[in-house]
A and B are shown apart, each in its own frame.
Chain A
Amino acid sequence: MRRLRPGTATDPAKPLSFRWNGTAFDALAGDTLASGLLANGVRVVGSSVSFGRPRGVMSAGLEEAHAFAQIGEGGASEPLMRATTVDLHHGLVARGLSTKGTLVQGDDPARFEKRHGHCDVLVVGGGPAGLAAAWAASAGGARVILVETTARWGGALGRDLELIDGAPALAWVDRITRDLAARPEVTALRRTTAAVSLDQNGVVLVERLPETTPPDRIRPIRRLWQVRARAVVVATGALERGVVFQDNDRPGVMLASAVRSYWHLHGIAPATVVLFTTNDDGYRTAFDLVEAGVLVRVLDARESIGPVGEQARARGIEVLSNAVVAGTRADQAGLLAAARFQAGRRQGEWPCEVLAVAGGYQPLLDLPAQRPDQSHRIVGAAAGQWSLAECLLDGLDAGVAAAEAVGFGSPGPTRPVVGPDWDRSPGTTLWQVPAPDGDETRSFVDLHRDVTVAGLDRALGAGVRSVEHLKRYTLAGTGIEQGKSAKAAAGAIASDRLGSEKPLGVSTGRPPTEPIAFALLAGRARGDLFEPVRTTPAHPAHVAAGAVFENVGQWKRPRYFPRPGETMAEAVAREARAVRTGVAIMDASTLGKIEVQGADAAEFLDRLYLNRLSSLKVGRARYAAMCRLDGTVFDDGVVMRLAPDRFFVTTSTGHAASVFEWMEEWRQTEWPDLEVWTTSTTEQWATYAVAGPQARTVVQSVAPTCDLSREGFPFLGVRPATIAGIAGLLARVSFSGELAFEVMVQSRHGLAVWNALLEAGTPLGMARYGLEALSLLRAEKGYLIVGQDTDADTSPIDAGLGWMISDKDFLGRRSLEMATHRRSDRKQLVGFLPSDPAIVLPEGAQFVADPTQPKPMTMIGHVTTSHPSPTLGRSFGLALVRGGRDRIGHIVHAPLEDRTVAVEIVDPVFYDKAGARRDG
């Protein structure tokens, strides 16, 4: 094929060049990669996946099953692009592929973005039906989005020479698109494919933005739209079908409509064409190419060729009726050289450069097929309307109806006059021409997956009767174009060969209608924007102090604060020692905080927590825990009573959201009569724990007016206080067992107060401590961390929180009364001491009673927390152990990979059992 003139889609004033398999070629703006290759006489684009046969361009659109290319270079290289849907730009680099792509390591500078869109009416497809629908729908002011996957409007009108209102149809297209552009509420997007159909009239669009080689780092090259429409009109048209015959995959065998497209849109034509048609529409290709001086001969599968065929003969075109292509002959390179035909009893061979196949049209319904029960309006060729006049009217009517359905009138559009209409008689349905020699191993049904009629036969012979098994046995329809052209053929040919009266149909269609790059699906959510990092007000100070951070959900929390040269173990030991012997400070701002207010607040909390909180006095705090309904531990925290009708509740960092939601759920759905309200105040407050024997001194120096004495501010007291000049709250709660104050100030002052506390503590050598030291300190006191020392089976009784359970009702109580919760072999939280005090057991290590038993061993528990303790001068830990409390004082064994460690089960409180130190 050669370019004989510019086409309607190409701009001779804008030449460009691109590289294909290392060679530079010239083309024009408006070319696709496929037209660019054809214009340069490139006939072989790649090779077939199973048999390595040469393959060329067979279509002009999204149904392309041959011409796959790897586009771009380095990290920006993109595999398996259909040459027919890639718009050429200057400098583009591409190479041909079989059906396997390549991934290339390297930086990909390209950007991809996403966007939400909203409209009254979404019209998919910019052919005559879609244009008419969008035009009519938007006339009354409705918001309309119109999308077209190719670079140009008009759909079939680009390849079919038609007249509308007495002028070439493309003039009508221009007029309509100009009207649309002038309407402010219309968004008309070319190079945009409707790819995914969502429930409730959502549609995901893929928009291709202008690209450069190499890509720049700012302008996105593709955009994923998520559109919500109030009505959707589908005008996606129809695809021309091929016909399966022997050696139907040769480069040069093309769809007749594609041959016509390349001629009209790109000015490209072959020297000789054999048209194999089953219908009148195919003759358009013959007529248009003859005018271009191409030698055209026609094989018409119908018994009688009808008036259009007669017209062709009258124009000097050789036409054989009752004629089919039985096979093709190739030259030495495997390229099409001739079509072998059978016409009645006559057999023969016509040499040709292109064999154009017109097998009739198949509505393209891959979008609505994704949600069969959606109420999309399907119009035009997609709805089986074959004449332009019908397509236009169908589109106009659907546009008006859609606008009216969403409350917009329409001025009653004028109906365009089409004509003279293309004279046509219905075609004959022909899916396959049997191979004359009976060898169907080269009659390709799915050209992409190399599935042949012989392959279908094999599947049927094996007992396959469902089109879905057929697909999975042969792989027909599983390629890049998802069988847009092959699926129907596979089902029809198989039905035919089975002689079954019930057609097998087509295999299920799924999203997306065109492949979507992973990078586009991620959009901006990559790198730093992948997911939020949540930081506390004092975060900059932690960074400056050299903290090592840990991800806790989305939060960054200091794990420890190493001094130069310190290992983690050393830093943690130092931090913990500071708490035990001096003073240290930790940022606890990520704790969840909830304010519960209202006359029934106390009753509400009583129903949620194990403990009775209505008895809590104003100005006092209580450690409290709650269960799930199944009686397992959900969360723990401190409940503080600020006023008779006001409580301040803390939750663990990880459960802040779920506890809040849990409270709201019960408040709204079960207890709508309680006068109570909950508000999440997690970020209203910055919270710092100042812990250690010297804590009082430090806090006193920033809260000079507050009575912090042992008597004046007893353990579990809560009171408003001015801290470093900022009004806040002080609470005497302790998770380390030492004297400790929890300082709460509004988070906007958090950093300043943190710095003030640090400054106040400096003379006393106050340390910062992180999560590791915290975990160690609290474990020495036997305080559990929900989720670490408990799992999905642990009840509060198992966890040693049974003392909290009051005689009132609370959520989960019913489950705790079940027999299973009273079993003595439940896993209970206990302490343990390795027999060798230098051995720190790994967390997660399992305990057995008898270490000599063969595998699978009977495990009786596992380590939940394990540390070396500078305070105890030895290793220790917490564990969940079957019947653990009865095993206190007994030895169990932890078989590790390289040795077995004996450990003694002990009470979980290791330090200051009497609780003497918390008052300082």
Chain B
Amino acid sequence: MLQIRCPWCGPRDEPEFRYGGEAHLRFPGNEADPAAWARFLYYRDNPAGAYRERWVHTAGCRQWFHVIRDTTSHRILGSYRLDEPPERAR
């Protein structure tokens, strides 16, 4: 079971959160061409190593935020708010 630091509420156990997959995706807008649209809908980065991902603190403050986590070890390198750059991860 992971323990994740919510940038607002502090460290909490994983069941308080919901996973949101790859972070920093850009909504391509409804004008996207079919390939770009399929990309956005169905394709996510899946690195073995540090991964920037989104979580939401559903059982707490309900805020979305970002986490950098190593997918090979589950080690969490930090979390940061939506309006912060990844370098601010703590």
Contact = CB atoms under 8 A, between A and B. Distances in A.
A and B touch in the complex (CB under 8 A): yes
Interface of A: 198-202, 226, 228, 373, 629-630, 661, 664-665, 668-670, 672, 809, 813-815, 817-818
**6 smallest A-B Cβ distances: which pairs?**
A200-B3, A814-B30, A373-B73, A199-B74, A198-B1, A668-B64
Interface of B: 1-3, 11, 13, 18, 20, 27, 29-32, 34, 37, 41, 54, 56, 58, 62-64, 73-76, 82-83
Contacts of A664: 56, 62, 64
Given A199-B74, A672-B83, A665 B41 contact: no
B41 A228 contact: no
Nearest to B18: A661
A819 B30 CA distance: 15
A679 to B, nearest CB: 10
Given A665-B20, A669-B54, A818 B82 contact: no
Contacts of B30: 809, 813-814, 817
A359 to B, nearest CB: 34
Given A200-B2, A669-B82, A373 B37 contact: no
B49 to A, nearest CB: 12
Dominant secondary structure of chain B at its interface with chain A = loop
A630 B75 CA distance: 33
Contacts, number: 54
A3 B30 CA distance: 83
Nearest to A202: B1
Contacts of B83: 672
A779 to B, nearest CB: 32
Contacts of B82: 668-669, 672
Contacts of B27: 670
Contacts of A201: 3
B2 A199 contact: yes
Contacts of B31: 814
Contacts of B62: 664
A228 B76 CA distance: 15
12 contacts: A198-B2, A198-B3, A199-B1, A200-B76, A226-B1, A373-B73, A661-B58, A669-B82, A672-B82, A809-B30, A815-B37, A815-B41
Nearest to B63: A668
A870 to B, nearest CB: 44
A629 B41 contact: yes
Contacts of B75: 199, 373
A307 B45 CA distance: 64
Contacts of B37: 814-815, 818
Given A226-B1, A814-B31, A818-B34, 10 more contacts: A198-B1, A199-B2, A200-B74, A202-B3, A228-B11, A661-B58, A665-B20, A665-B64, A669-B64, A670-B27
Given A199-B74, A669-B54, A672-B82, A814 B64 contact: no
Nearest to A660: B62
Contacts of A198: 1-3
Nearest to B37: A814
Contacts of A672: 82-83
Contacts of A630: 41
A649 B20 CA distance: 25
Contacts of A199: 1-3, 74-75
